[in-house]
Structure 1
Amino acid sequence: MADTYSFDVVSDFDRQELVNTIDQVRRDVGTRYDLKDSNTEIEVEEASLTITTASDMTLQAVEDVLRQKATKRNLSLKIFDFQSPEPVGGNRVKQVVKLRKGLSSELAKQLSKTVRDELKKVTVSIQGESLRITGKNKDDLQQAINLLKAQDVEVPLQFENYR
């Protein structure tokens, strides 16, 4: 029997679900009466999305559709970091939506400090863009998971490699 247990805290999303969500948004925008003639384009890059459309009003509608479709596909809305829209040529607007992935070093330090202050029986180590929490008792790890779930952070947290 193992004498220590551990799990990793990461912030990630399913890339394929995001691609499927964007496809659904494109289809929806193409068929909706109020958005059909807006010439809306959604480009997917590695770390961001770019939405180009006719006006601020259609941009807001496209954002709403994106949020709805992402929620239906179990994507956390916390992965989207909507930047401020900027005008581009021809009375069109463009908005960049950054995709949040991984724990920033500041957030990792903050979460690690929270766990260390609250729970004395577990150890926390920062490993790149994730945290590894180890302890001798599975109940202590469950307390750590519940503590982290209660935190209000700007990225979605997942708990992996529980062993």
Structure 2
Amino acid sequence: MAKESSFDVVSVVNMQEVDNAYQQASRELSQRYDLKGTGAKLELSKSDGTFTILAPSEFVAGQVRDILGSKLVRRGVDLSALRWDNPQAASGMSVRQTGSLVQGIDAALAKRISKDIRDSKIKAKPTIEGDKLRVSSTSKDALQAVISLLKGNDYGQPLQFVNYR
């Protein structure tokens, strides 16, 4: 019997790069002329992986979101890993908006990816293991086909392919 090869499909975000982007965005908020006196604040909770924007209006919150997004892209963090909630009214006529980083593949998405692999008729076997998905096959060409299939589909969050053996 031929040796079986495999790889893992994961969705992780480099928190060091996120922190660097947060620091750059905070610095730009304090220095940018049109946002200097507005009282807009950006906060990052590293343990939860959440951003909080406090701004005087939704327009300013959108500008802060755009600044953060540009810094994240420049640092190599995919914006599809960031989910923003709807803006909420906060005290003093201000707006609060939270955004969370998506880490790991949840069960529903893992089932959907697994179903897509099975429906493609590629001879590969997907297995759900916690917050990742392991795909194994006897043919490395089949694994390459699975990777290109998954790259071609949009699952709403970035996927990485690791531990290719």
| Superposition TM-score tier, normalisation by shorter sequence | over 0.9
Give the secondary-structure state (helix, strand or coil) at the position aligned to 1:133. Answer: strand
C-alpha distance in 2 between matches for 1:105 and 1:132? 13
- What residue in structure 1 maps to residue 34 of structure 2? 34
- Alignment-derived partner of residue 135 in structure 1: 137
User: What TM-score do the two structures reach when normalised by structure 1?
Assistant: 0.96
How far apart, CA to CA, are the structure 1 residues paired with 2:71 and 2:143?
A: 33
1:7 maps to 2:7: yes
Structure 1 segments, 4+ long, off by >4 Å, are none
- Separation in structure 2 between the aligned mates of residue 84 and residue 38 of structure 1, nearest angstrom: 21
The residue correspondences of 1:1-163 to structure 2 (distance < 5 A) are 3-45=3-45, 46-163=48-165
Separation in 1 of the partners of 2:4 and 2:96?
51
TM norm structure 2 = 0.94
Give CA-to-partner distance per residue, 1:47-68, whole Å, 9 cap, x none. 3111111211111110111111
- Report the number of matched residues: 162
Residue ranges of structure 2 left out of the alignment (5+ in a row): none
Structure 1 unpaired stretches of 5+: none
**How much has 1:40 moved relative to structure 2?**
2.0
Q: SS of 1:95's equivalent?
A: strand
Q: Is the 8 A contact 2:56 2:95 kept in 1?
A: yes
SS of 2:34 mapped into structure 1: coil
1:133 and 1:122 map into 2 onto residues whose CA distance is: 6
Hey, what's the Cα distance between the residues in 2 that align with 1:66 and 1:119? 41
Output the aligned Cα RMSD.
Answer: 1.1
1:119 Cα deviation after fit: 3.2
Q: CA deviation at 1:122?
A: 0.8
Identity of aligned residues (%): 38
Distance in 1 (alpha carbons) for counterparts of 2:40 and 2:75: 22
